[in-house]
Each structure stands twice: as C-alpha cells, then as structure tokens.
Amino acid sequence: MEKIPEGPALIIFYHGAIPIDFYYFMAKIFIHKGRTCRVVADHFVFKIPGSQQKQAKKVYGFSLLLDVFCAIHGPREKCVEILRSGHLLAISPGGVREALISDETYNIVWGNRKGFAQVAIDAKVPIIPMFTQNIREGFRSLGGTRLFRWLYEKFRYPFAPMYGGFPVKLRTYLGDPIPYDPKITAEELAEKTKDAVQALIDKHQRIPGNIMSALLERFHNKQKID
C-alpha cells in the first residue's frame, strides 16, 4: 500500500477471467486511504440491460453497480481529466480479450495497445503495475478455445463460459512506480509497463497455475511454489 501515492497515478493490472482481485483492491484503497479508484471498463459492460440510467438523478439496476465501482468507458480525454484532477485510475490493457484468452500460463494479451501509456504521459503521472497471484485459479475461462475466441473476435462480446469460485489464496502485488518521463514515447512506456507486470508474474506466480496448490496455500505462508 505504501506504493500508492497521495496524488494521482495510473494502475495497470493483469486481467483475470473475473477481476475479483480488483474489487478487493478498490475496497482496500477506500478503507485504508479513504480514496476511490476509477476503472476503465469494456464497452460491452455499458450495453448490459440495466446499465443505463433511466431518469435524471436516479440510478437503477446494473448502473448502480457501475457507479459504485466508479467505472467509466473512456475516452482517452476523460481518463486524462480524471488523473489531472488528482484521482487514481486503473486500466487493464488486456481487457476482456485477456480475461477470455489468457489461461493458467498467465500470458499477457495486450497486443499493440499503448493508449494507456499515452494517457499517463499526457496526465504526467506515474504508472503502478499490479498483479494478483492465483487469480486464474479462482476462476477459469474457456475463451481460449477456437470457437469462443472466434465468437469474441466476431461480435466483441464475451460468450465464453467460465467456471470456478474456488477459495484459493489471492495475494495482490504492486510493483515499483514507473515515474513520468517527458522524453519517453508511448510505445516505449507501454513496453516498459508490460515488462514490469511480467516481472511480477515471474516473481510471484507458479507457472502453470494449479488450482489444488492455490487452495493449499490457504493453510501455509509460502509465497510461491517452485
């Protein structure tokens, strides 16, 4: 928690099949620092029935949940505005694609995305990498199969089934902040951030992940099983 600054910062995290770790992280930030952390959610989330406000000054259904979690769908200018206002903002560059396609090998699925890096540069804020150990063992996705991957790429909607809810031990790690550097390009910063998240995975995660081992970690203090 000491790596979270008093001022603004952009938190970049690996996206599990279900980002339950981020929900806990938001709660921790609020309880211990009295701050909220905005998060950029995929566009499909805002198309779910009940995600739109029906009347002015009133929030109904799923839109209430989005409001509680301070979820936004961008655009880039809005993200920069939030950071310049002194808030924390979280983005998972892999998003839904990473949630569906990545698996127990914890491969990072960002493609060539670098918009988040440009946001950090424009807002002149540090980037804090984040990873949660065993997040893939809590919930698993079948999105990596050829059919469900094709469906997602075709319709941009997460049709893939998921299973889990296993009470595995989750530990969230924050890496050292990557300070603002006016001389760095968005491409360079994106690659630097990806390397930082990968370093957290390499240090703290058993590869491939194992559900039984993650469950057993509930009963001992060993940080990583080699």
Residues with a catalytic annotation lie at 15
The DSSP H or E segment spanning 80 is helix 76-84
Measured between alpha carbons, how far is 109 from 198 in angstroms, rounded to an integer?
Answer: 11
Place of tokens 């063992």: 137
Choose among 12, 206, 190: nearest CA to 106: 206
The CA–CA distances, whole Å, from 70 to 23, 64, 89, 175, 197 equal 11, 10, 9, 23, 23
| Residue 133, Cβ density class (10 Å: 0-12 exposed, 13-18 middle, ≥19 buried) | buried
Task: Specify whether the CB–CB gap between 4 and 127 falls below 8 A.
Answer: no
Listed residue (93, 70, 99) closest to 189, CA to CA: 93
